[in-house]
Structure 1
Amino acid sequence: MSDTLYTLDAICQHAEEIKKSRFLAQAAPVTKADDALAFVRQVSDPAATHNCWAYRIGQDYRFNDDGEPGGTAGRPILQAIEGQGIDRAVVVVTRWYGGIKLGAGGLVRAYGGSAAECLRRAPRTPIVAMAQLALHCEFGELALLKARLKDWMAQIEHEAFDATGVSLVLGLPESLVDEAQARITDMSRGRIHPRRLP
């Protein structure tokens, strides 16, 4: 598995039947625990036998077996999320019991497998670590600087004008900070000194 983490672009679903039980996995991108729990409530079917779920948002994670034997549903769903390098996501796997017991191993495979297949099919986006640079430039340098921002995938997050020029805070991918600092200093012949914000 690579070090890159991904988040989901949209809500996705995957349904399958395993020994007459129906499983429906539903996944969604989330940025906070409250959103994850709201999604669980929204898609859980009260008529189903079980609505098991897990979410991971950075270092924060939770899972729930919803009445299945401990460790056979929520944890395998969480392991599917982690195994696919997904972050900021919630997965709910709903089961309608079909009359045939699956046993602990069968449950782990069914819940984990349904969640993993749902996530495999989901459109995803890499999560890019972002950083901020602060700098001050003269009015005459602003247009050239703004024209170069796209080279570093940078966005202006804050702009303040004063008598001597403009103070900017740029948001850009962490991996491009050193290059942006060097290029801005070169471009301004050393007049602009971008500094990284903590």
Structure 2
Amino acid sequence: MLTDRGSRYAVSGATVTSRAEIDAVLARLKHDKAYAKASHNTWAALLPTGGLKADDGESGAGMVILRMLERSELKDHVVIVTRWYGGKKLGGDRFRRVQDAVRAYLSDQGFAE
């Protein structure tokens, strides 16, 4: 878990091959009350049909995740970055924290960005 000025970030992911599978992963994640109450659950995935992303109110964060997945060539996988807002705006640093979370996930999965 990453923290910055009170905001907390977590990253998770799963193998997926369709939008329906992405929705199922998100539903399982949000079944946990902590994640359901999170400020943002941004995500991206590279599927055979192309890249998909969602900002969940964290404007631009889905694209950050998607670009990192493209660079690492991690396909058929959804990566979700969750943020619990800590009360202070982070400005551009919020993208750095999203990148830090995705980098940690990619490293744990054995992929290089």
TM-score range, shorter chain: 0.7 to 0.9
SS of the residue corresponding to residue 23 of structure 2 reads helix
Q: Which has the higher contact order (CA 8 A, sep 6+)?
A: 2
1:47 maps to 37
Q: Distance in 2 between matches of 1:36 and 1:86?
A: 15
* Shift in Å, 1:118: 0.9
2:63 corresponding residue in structure 1: 75
2:94 match = 107
Which residue in 2 is equivalent to 1:128?
Answer: none
- Normalising to structure 1: TM-score of the pair? 0.50
**How far off its partner does 1:82 sit?**
1.4
**3-state DSSP of counterpart to 1:94:** strand
The 5-angstrom pairing of residues 167-182 of structure 1 reads none
Structure with the higher helix share, 1 or 2 = 2
Amino acid at match of 1:53: W
Residue-by-residue CA offset, 1:105-152 (whole Å, 9 max, x unaligned): 21211112211221111146xxxxxxxxxxxxxxxxxxxxxxxxxxxx
Runs of 4+ in 1 over 3 A off after TM superposition: none
- Could you list the runs of 5+ residues in structure 1 that have no partner in the other structure? 1-14, 125-198
* Equivalent residues in 2 for 1:85-96, closer than 5 Å: 85-96=73-84
Which structure 2 residue ranges, 5 or more long, are not aligned?
Answer: none
Q: Which residue of 2 aligns with 1:19?
A: 5
Aligned residues: 107
Q: Cα RMSD over matched residues?
A: 1.6
Where 2:75 maps in the other structure, the secondary structure is coil
Q: What TM-score does the superposition give when structure 2 sets the normalisation length?
A: 0.84
